[in-house]
Structure 1
Amino acid sequence: MISNPVFQVIAAFFAIAGFSIVIEVPKKFLVYSGFVGAVGWAVYLMFLDKYGIMVATFFGGMAIALISHIFARIFKAPVTIFLIPGILVIVPGAGMYRTVYQIFLGEQGLAADYLLQTIQMAGMIALAIFAMDSVFSILQNKKWKSRRRLPYFWIK
């Protein structure tokens, strides 16, 4: 039952909604932050088997950042209200645990492998968030530029 993707997505929704309560996300946004986490996990699972963990982490992060930006604009709220809880589903906490565990066992080579994978996953998450923030920043800047009136001698 745990390997069932539908069950995992539903569990991700409730886990993120619960985590959102802990970090005091406003009550009216709890369902939406849970939805962000569930969609991010669903995208992660879709890419995981075919393309591997790094690509899955990147596209999961992209989905989470995209929906967080859309919800932030719809509900006139900060992006972080949706992004921080939503990103929790793909944060490589298990990788850090495995790294420390292998260090305690004295397996330095295995610990280094887990640490490298964890750092790469964190980098994919950061890259995905940065890319989506850049897209929305460019779109917002173009929208602003198209509204302002420039004197004719400034336009080349």
Structure 2
Amino acid sequence: MKEKILTGALVALLTFRGMSAPALAGSEDVMVDNAWSRASIGMNRPGAAYMTIHNVGDEPVTLIGLTTPLAMMPEIHETKTNAEGVSSMSPAGEIAIAPGESVALEPGSLHAMLMRLQEPMTEGETFPLTLLFDDGGEVSVEVPILGIAARGPED
């Protein structure tokens, strides 16, 4: 019983701090930190979320998707800039994270694209985002919504 209480307290603490809670299968070795997003201008344009995903285990893990009640089409996208300085964005597909490695979802690179917003992203609020892994595991994080000009989780 004491173990269940401690586990519940850990999950609550990690969720409050914008970190992931323990998950299932191989994805139990995934930790998420520094999750953040920017406020949106209404619902007509997509939003984005950023974070660092750590694989603290001994086996590789593969991120295969996202879910959130905030957006009907959440996907991992990647921004690339060609030699002429023109940027384009496209779905990144599955993302393998080697043991002991991390993947940063950040502006101008890999990021969680939140298309078809169901409500505006309002500064000061949060939303749940669940990362889906190929082992069937899930890692959920509560993402804080910062100001529209935020440049990182410290803003």
Specify the TM-score bucket, using the shorter chain as the normaliser: under 0.3
Q: Flag the structure with more relative contact order, 1 or 2, with Cα contacts below 8 A and sequence separation at least 6.
A: 2
| Greater fraction helix | 1
Name whichever structure is richer in strand by fraction: 2
TM-score (norm 1): 0.24
Q: TM-score, normalised by structure 2?
A: 0.24
